[in-house]
A and B are shown apart, each in its own frame.
Chain A
């Protein structure tokens, strides 16, 4: 308790008035202050940021979030854990967004390494990264953009055997995979662990997003019903995975994940959001599971 009081006092002492362009000011704590207090208190920067928010002192890095998320929402995100499965076109962008919005703990899973044809769309992939493990670069990138985020890096492919262990502790699981079969496997695993799943996929300038809550089988019984041995692919086998589409779908997936973590908004439950970027059309199609067999 004395330790916490000391932390609160340290944070209060580090809080400074920050003036806002256009008038007004707020009490904030900057990156250096967070790091110094973490070093002196033995807390992690993430814990210092949460404590500051609870005291009404805003880490400057989140200031532009606060009007939308609230102090409590920001603190809740920092206390949350998201698992991102896949660190390619969708995953790299999702990881970036979750780190910047301040989801405090990320479990990042991908066994793959970068190849040159990833450069068109994969935010994590730079020319110098070809051949490197995607997860290694993901860890580096998160540390570059938000060092308060605590990362569990798992440079392996998700399988039926390792899924439960990899995903344990996540408040939301995000599907950023690139094969239909393993997406179905992920849905099964998330269901077994009772963790909500955010699904997204791309093909050409089209994409889709859906949310699967525990007990639902939106992927296996509806969207991908009848598809889906492990190597199976959709229209991306013909249309490829061009630039831009993953940025749109990844943004929508990240938003659904944040909504789930904060319990706010209306999730895309029992619906498929189907995006056709060439026509700038977003369609929501209702989904009912099962049916009466084939």
Chain B
């Protein structure tokens, strides 16, 4: 199935374009997608799927729009 991926910040350099269509197998989770895309540092990565913050255990569906970025909390 196909999903759409949007990369932000440091993740942008992991692909040729920060926005692209991506083919994954049915049942792939957000965490598995992050690993497939080789997002560094599993502690500091997060996903919005269709604008909703989801845990890495969330299962992707066809056509999902997946925004991937790093959580920020400093001041």
Q: Residues on A close to B: CB < 8 A?
A: 86, 88-91, 176-180, 183, 200-204, 206-208, 221-227, 232-238, 240-241, 246, 274, 276, 279, 283, 285-291, 294
B48→A227 contact, CB < 8 A: no
The CB with the most chain A CB atoms within 10 A, among B9, B44, B54, is that of B9
CB distance from A85 to the nearest CB of B (A): 10
- Which one of A90, A206, A286, A288 contacts B75 once the chains associate, using CB atoms below 8 Å? A90
Q: Residues on B close to A: CB < 8 A?
A: 6, 8-10, 12, 41, 44, 48, 50-55, 57-58, 67, 69-75
A222→B53 contact, CB < 8 A: yes
**CB-CB nearest 8 A-B residue pairs:** A236-B74, A234-B73, A178-B75, A234-B71, A203-B72, A235-B70, A225-B53, A180-B73
The CB with the most chain A CB atoms within 10 A, among B6, B51, B69, B75, is that of B75
Point out the residues of chain A lying under 8 angstroms from B10, CB to CB.
204, 206, 235
- Which one of A90, A221, A238, A279 contacts B44 once the chains associate, using CB atoms below 8 Å? A238
A274→B53 contact, CB < 8 A: no
B75→A226 contact, CB < 8 A: no
Point out the residues of chain B lying under 8 angstroms from A221, CB to CB.
53
B51→A286 contact, CB < 8 A: yes
* Majority DSSP secondary structure for residues of B touching A: loop
Point out the residues of chain B lying under 8 angstroms from A294, CB to CB.
55, 57-58
Point out the residues of chain B lying under 8 angstroms from A291, CB to CB.
52-54
- Bound-complex Cα distance A246 to B72 (A): 12
- Which one of B58, B67, B71 contacts A285 once the chains associate, using CB atoms below 8 Å? B67
Known pairs A206-B9, A283-B8, A288-B50; A234 contacts B55 (CB<8 A):
no
Known pairs A177-B75, A241-B75, A274-B8; A206 contacts B70 (CB<8 A):
yes
